[in-house]
Amino acid sequence: MFPAVLGIAGTAVAAAGWFGYASSRGHDGFGLGGGSAAAITQPAAQAAAPAAVSVRDGATDVTPDGVLTVAAPPGEQIGMVELTYKTEAVQGVFSDDRRTWTASGPLRAGVSYALSAVTTTDAGGTGIQHETFTTSRPDNPLKLDLVAPTDGSVVGVGQPVVVSFTRPIADAGRAAMEQALSVSAIPPQAGHWSWLSASRVDYRPQSYWKPGTKVSVDLALDGLGDGHGRYGTADRDFGFTVGRDQETTIDLKAERATVRRDGNVVHTFAVTGGMPGLDTWSGTYAVIDKSPDVHMNSRTVGLGDEYDIPDVKWDVHITYTGTYVHSAPWSVGAQGVRNVSHGCIGTSPANAEWFFSNTLPGDVVKVINTPRQVAPGNGFADWQEPWDQWLTGSAVH
């Protein structure tokens, strides 16, 4: 969560020496050659008073996402602060007058920290404060509901990074949450986080990922609060690789799908979409997942007893509200002619199997020419928003 580097948040003041050693060995802090010791010895400066730490020494219930500060007594400054968990150092920021130091970001949950702080006076005196304390671990921690894509997966160029929590994040906590989530790509691409709901934040590049891109994601959630009294207890990191560029356009006025790979048409096939009144959502999707068999029951989408099919084949999932591209042998006569489904996109068994076999999670599927538009949070439809609009959903942009 924090860089495993030496946690020196500043340098010791040269005149004060290191950790309370007075400068009594000469003007440079070391013995000077020549002359007698009596001729060069300087009176030791009066020791500085110790710093005031906002956390009590020995405390065992420190909230990880609280603000930890170190303050110098009147007339003194903070020379150095070191705050560590094992070999992991917590970074911090000095005030302009170096009278206070504030830890950056949350601490880990349920671990012990050691703190050392050096105070200095204008006369060269030093004081040192040592403390240890332990952070608390919540009974009801912040939990993840969904993280996508899966670690090590190969995905399509439209794949967003999806982070969904089991409970809403307070408005006041979203900026810190965003800043704790990082994405790096090789080669680099501009991208940003955007909140699609109070419990879901997604990251996408400005334009589709470049094929072959290696993406690493770091979720520094340990100790991070949600603004409602819950906080994370573990970090998480994962990575994925972007595969070839495959984009499918499904035109439900023409009842036809066209699959392009790296810009070239590789397959076309007849389809049928949602009938009038149950129109398929238009929009630009990234494929959520796929399954060779899905039990489709109309009650799960609010359509009563319209259908109950236990083994629909070759299912490519594109919305949370139940839209798939799938095999529909019962509607082959309507495919390429008219829209007769309850909202899914049906095609022949052979075409459905081809599309299933040749589709990755994150592949782009664009549905056009229907009377309604999908919302960005309904599946992975992040590409519904133009870039400027996407950025307005960020808490830090």
Structural domains of the chain, ranges and CATH numbers in brackets: 37-134 (2.60.40.3780), 144-243 (2.60.40.3710), 246-387 (2.40.440.10)
Q: What is the DSSP secondary structure assignment for residue 384, as one 8-state letter?
A: G
**Smallest Cα–Cα separation from 306: which of 296, 316, 295?**
296
Beta bridge partners of 373: 282
Phi, psi of 382 (to 5 degrees): -60, -25
Q: How far is residue 43's CA from residue 25's CA, in Å, rounded to a whole number? A: 10
Mark residue 17 as left, alpha or beta (left: phi above 0; alpha: psi -120 to 50; beta: remaining).
left
Vertex 190 angle, CA 142 and 374, to 5° = 65
46 token code pair: 């009066």
pTM score of the predicted model: 0.80
153 token code pair: 């997966």
pLDDT given for residue 299 in this prediction: 87
Q: What is the DSSP secondary structure assignment for residue 4, as one 8-state letter?
A: -
350 token code pair: 């052979």
- The active-site residue out of 192, 326, 342, 397 is 326
CB atoms within 10 A of CB 84: 17
pLDDT given for residue 41 in this prediction: 55
Check: CB of residue 228 under 8 Å from CB of residue 198.
no
Tokens 């009144």, located at residue: 277
pLDDT given for residue 42 in this prediction: 57
Beta bridge partners of 291: 315
Q: pLDDT tens digits, the chain, 397 residues: what are they?
A: 433 333 333 433 333 333 333 333 233 333 333 344 444 555 566 788 899 999 999 999 999 988 999 999 999 999 999 999 999 999 999 999 999 999 998 999 999 999 999 999 988 899 999 999 999 988 889 999 999 999 999 999 999 999 999 999 999 999 999 999 999 999 999 999 999 999 999 999 999 999 999 999 999 999 999 999 899 999 999 999 999 999 999 999 999 999 999 999 999 999 999 999 999 999 999 999 999 999 999 888 888 888 889 999 999 999 999 999 999 999 999 999 999 999 999 999 999 999 999 999 999 999 999 999 999 999 999 999 999 999 999 999 7
- Is 344 a catalytic site residue? yes
- Is 228 a catalytic site residue? no
367 token code pair: 């549905």
**Smallest Cα–Cα separation from 15: which of 126, 127, 96?**
126
pLDDT given for residue 43 in this prediction: 58
**Smallest Cα–Cα separation from 72: which of 119, 116, 128?**
119
- The active-site residue out of 192, 317, 342, 344 is 344
272 token code pair: 């049928």
**3-class secondary-structure state, position 215:** strand
304 token code pair: 């009563």
202 token code pair: 């997604």
Residues with Cβ within 8 Å of 183's Cβ and at least 6 positions away in sequence, in order, are 161, 191, 203, 215, 216, 217, 218
Residues with Cβ within 8 Å of 246's Cβ and at least 6 positions away in sequence, in order, are 156, 157, 259, 260, 261, 262, 358, 359, 360, 363, 364
Q: How far is residue 27's CA from residue 31's CA, in Å, rounded to a whole number? A: 9
**Smallest Cα–Cα separation from 285: which of 243, 326, 316, 310?**
316
Tokens 């798939």, located at residue: 324
